[in-house]
Amino acid sequence: MDLESRGIPGGYILTEEFREADLAQARALGFSANKVFVEHPIQDRTDAEMALIAERAFAEVVAMIVTPE
C-alpha cells in the first residue's frame, strides 16, 4: 500500500496455504493487494526446487507489477 501510494508497483507472493490468511488480512484492512500464489510448501524446498517454483511463477509476478490497475 505504501509503495503503491508512492507510485511504485507492488504485490506479494504467497503459498496456497495462505489464501485464507490473505482474505482475512484484506478484509481487516479493507484493501486487497496484488498477489501471486505459488505451491505449498516452500520452507523445506531445495534451492533447485525453489528455482523451479520461481520460474513457474515468474511471468505472473512480472504481469502483477507491470499491468496497470
Is 32 a binding residue for other proteins by CB under 8 A? The answer is: no
Angle at 19 between CA 64 and CA 6, to 5 degrees: 40
Please pick, from the candidates 3, 29, 50, 59, the single residue that binds other proteins as defined by CB under 8 A: 29
- Quick check: 39 and 53 in contact, CB under 8 A? yes
**Cell output for 33:** 493487494
For residue 62, state whether it binds other proteins (rule: CB under 8 A): no
Q: Does 3 bind other proteins (CB under 8 A)?
A: no
Which set of grid coordinates corresponds to residue 3?
509503495
Asked if 69 touches other proteins (CB under 8 A), the answer is no
Residues near other proteins (CB under 8 A): 18, 20-21, 24-25, 28-29
